[in-house]
A and B are shown apart, each in its own frame.
Chain A
Amino acid sequence: MPPPPSTAVADAVVEILKNVSRRPIEPTPASDLIADLGFDSLQVMETVAELEDRFGLSIPAEDVPAARTVAQVTARVEALLQARRLS
């Protein structure tokens, strides 16, 4: 399977965030998951599980607190995909 281009990753992240949120949200790259999108810790973990399923990744628990904005989440997923391609 060819690696998805990064806009595809960004689009998928936004789609997953919209599904996980139970509020009508319009995430932008700068949106903070907790402060702006209203995610609680359970929804953050649900997002992680959905990202793992979508991209076939294993996202380490230590990565979770570090990524607070949509852009940071996207970058983290891209880095993990990149690492997988190189390994």
Chain B
Amino acid sequence: MTAPLRTLPAALDDAARTGEGFVFVSGTTERRRSYAELQDASRRFARLLLARGLRRGDLVALVVSDSDQFLTALLGASIAGMVPASLYPPATTTEFAHYLSATAGTLRSSGARAIVTSGSFAAAIAGLQSSCPDLALVISWDGWQGAADPHSLCPDISLDEVAFVQFTSGSTSEPRGVEITHRSLSANIEAINGPMGLGTSASDAAVSWLPLYHDMGLVGMALGAMYAGRPAVLMTPATFVKRPVEWLRAISRHRGTVSFAPNFAYDLCVRRVKERELEGLDLSCWRVAGCGGEPIHAATLSAFARKFAPVGFRETSFLPSYGLAEHVLAATFPPRGRAVRVAHLPGHLDIVSCGSPLPDHQLRIVNEEGLDVGERCTGEITLAGPSVMRGYQGAGELTAQTIRNGWLHTGDLGFLDEGELFVCGRIKDLLVVNGRKYHPQDLEWALDELAGVRRGRAVAFGLSRAGTADRVVIVIEPSGTVDGAALAHAIRQRVSETCGVYVDEIVPVPTGTIGRTTSGKVQRIATRLQYERGELRSR
């Protein structure tokens, strides 16, 4: 019943025999690439890597925005026995210089031996080599030719080797590379595609606009389809973000059956798809409308269902799910074809059920002592089973803090009700804006050199809001007599250039208000609680 576990190259081998493949969509252009063609290109890329002197187990970083190139490089590195590692590409709203310095930091700390890059930033990335001693090779996609040398491939990769490393955020302060073995990858994909997950069959076609440097796009959509030997339509994120209706048009045109996206994507469709754009859409084929990756709002899902019911969308297609990169991707699914189950908690937004753990996977809700709490009691979500990551690359201590006795501590808060998971917050103080995670420390560090802010006296945190991005708040102790409005402008400018995020509120407080831990770190949670209780006195 359970499919045998397969390495990435073995799954590509199987997929290449199906005649299926990917369709890449960018703007109004579409290009089909069969799995056999992809395998052929990946093998040529693998030979190039070997010909350039890279060895088995070397880390090959990918900063490649084109989906075809990204997948060819990822699979090519894998076929050559190397470890591909996806990095975030530059965001449109971040200053490029800051992006480059963050990327250099990630390359150094990961010990990457090569970086594959393309497009307009290839030259700038190439310039990083001098500051990254391990980085032996920079491969610009645009100049790439297949290597002729018949280097032998398929060096008998075992399921327990690392299939890829995924950097979970663009953080400068804490770049974290999640190591996923072939065994975990395959186990998670089989569980996702299996009868308790998507129930994938020979009539399925995936459609996705999600970035491939993110777990939901890479594992859930692209590799999930490839392991199942089914087609997948992969649209560039920019195409979707510019015109959200293009996502729905691709589903309609390709008769897509499975498509996943974070909550904000459904919200964008509700707000931005115009009445006249509904014409010609037929979403009756869409049997699994997955939602995950950030808090799910019941109101967003029902607004989407109302708006698109006239063009065939069924509310029972929604499949809210919970997962994280440290668990490959998925951890829980509710039964398919069921109405979204909602819990109404006093003082909270309506919370959506994310369902039950995947088969052969375990979930416990624990308190601070690591003991199980009862049903309907909130605690930390912990996970065990074949999908737990091997660890954070090169960070043994952090890994030991995160995986204890085989249990992955997610840092997310939730409760169980009749065995189903409801996610209700985070322990880790990450900011989440439009599905992208930001470390508060990055925002705080950005203000270190800013005139008018006492050095090291800035605290950033996010407040969850209904149906939208976190509200980003920065509390500062001003120094000197800088004009308040000018300082607020300077802070917003600096944070937006450095981190690409808008600061909703700036709270200046008297000197000595922001507490410090014994190790000298700012007390972020204490400051946030003071803010929430209205105890922060403006200066």
Query: A: which residues have CB within 8 A of B?
Result: 32, 34-36, 38-42, 44-46, 48-49, 61-62, 64-65
User: Which of B120, B241, B243 is A62 in contact with, Cβ under 8 Å?
Assistant: B120
**Contact between chains at A40 and B492 (CB < 8 Å):** no
Contact code string B272-292 (vs A, CB < 8 Å = 1, else 0): 100000000000000000000
In the complex, identify which listed stretch (B475-483, B499-507, B520-528) lies at the interface while the others stay far away.
B499-507
**Contact between chains at A41 and B500 (CB < 8 Å):** yes
**Contact between chains at A40 and B489 (CB < 8 Å):** no
Number of A-B residue pairs, CB cutoff 8 Å, is 52
Complex CA–CA separation, A65 to B500 (angstroms)? 11
Chain B contacts for A41, CB-based, 8 A: 91-93, 241, 434, 500
Chain A contacts for B241, CB-based, 8 A: 41-42, 45-46
* Listed A/B pairs (5) with beta-carbon separation below 8 Å: A34-B502, A36-B489, A40-B502, A42-B268, A45-B242
Known: A35-B489, A65-B92. 20 other contacts (CB 8 A): A34-B502, A35-B492, A35-B493, A35-B496, A35-B497, A35-B502, A36-B492, A38-B502, A40-B469, A41-B91, A41-B92, A42-B241, A42-B268, A44-B92, A45-B92, A45-B241, A46-B272, A49-B242, A62-B120, A65-B96
User: Which of A34, A38, A40, A65 is B434 in contact with, Cβ under 8 Å?
Assistant: A40
Query: B: which residues have CB within 8 A of A?
Result: 91-93, 96, 120, 238, 241-243, 264, 268, 272, 433-434, 469, 489, 492-493, 496-497, 500-502, 504
Chain A contacts for B492, CB-based, 8 A: 35-36, 38
- Nearest A residue to B90 via CB reads A65
- Nearest A residue to B501 via CB reads A40
Complex CA–CA separation, A40 to B272 (angstroms)? 15
- Nearest B residue to A38 via CB reads B502
- Nearest A residue to B504 via CB reads A38
Complex CA–CA separation, A44 to B493 (angstroms)? 16
**Contact between chains at A42 and B120 (CB < 8 Å):** no
Chain A contacts for B489, CB-based, 8 A: 35-36
CB of B100, distance to nearest CB on chain A (Å): 14
Complex CA–CA separation, A39 to B502 (angstroms)? 7
CB of B326, distance to nearest CB on chain A (Å): 25
User: Which of A36, A38, A46, A64 is B92 in contact with, Cβ under 8 Å?
Assistant: A64
Chain A contacts for B434, CB-based, 8 A: 40-42
Complex CA–CA separation, A48 to B497 (angstroms)? 20
Complex CA–CA separation, A42 to B242 (angstroms)? 8
Complex CA–CA separation, A7 to B434 (angstroms)? 34
| Closest CB pairs A-B (n = 5) | A35-B493, A34-B496, A45-B241, A35-B492, A38-B502
CB of B212, distance to nearest CB on chain A (Å): 17
